[in-house]
């Protein structure tokens, strides 16, 4: 899954993607590998998940 590259190289405060529900374990793995990001998912029409990674501030909260 390419999301790991976006998390490592992006300067954006947020990365959003529509993914298949079966991809959730891979997204959670990437979140664990990149601890400066939080992950939130929500179901959307068509059986997809909206995955939103948000970069955390240095104090541990959202920037």
Q: What is the pLDDT of residue 1?
A: 57
Instruction: Kindly give the residue spans of alpha helices, DSSP state H, lying in 1-63.
Output: 3-9, 24-33
Query: Do the domain assignments include residue 61?
Result: no
Inter-residue contact 37 to 55 (CB < 8 Å): yes
Query: Do the domain assignments include residue 60?
Result: no
Query: Do the domain assignments include residue 39?
Result: yes
Domain limits for position 34: 3-55
Q: Is the pLDDT of residue 59 over 60?
A: no
Query: Do the domain assignments include residue 46?
Result: yes
Q: What is the model's pTM?
A: 0.83
Distance (Å, whole) CA 36 – CA 20? 24
Nearest CA to 44 out of 14, 21, 10 is that of 21
First to last CA, the chain: 26
Q: Is the pLDDT of residue 52 over 60?
A: yes
Q: Is the pLDDT of residue 50 over 80?
A: yes
Overall domain count for the chain: 1
Q: Is the pLDDT of residue 8 over 80?
A: yes
Query: Do the domain assignments include residue 18?
Result: yes
């Amino acid at each position: 899954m390419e999301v790991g590259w976006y998390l490592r190289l992006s300067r954006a405060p947020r990365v959003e993607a529509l993914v298949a529900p079966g991809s959730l374990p891979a997204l959670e793995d990437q979140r664990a590998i990149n601890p400066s990001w939080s992950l939130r998912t929500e179901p959307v029409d068509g059986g997809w998940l909206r995955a939103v990674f948000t970069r955390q501030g240095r104090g541990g909260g959202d920037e």
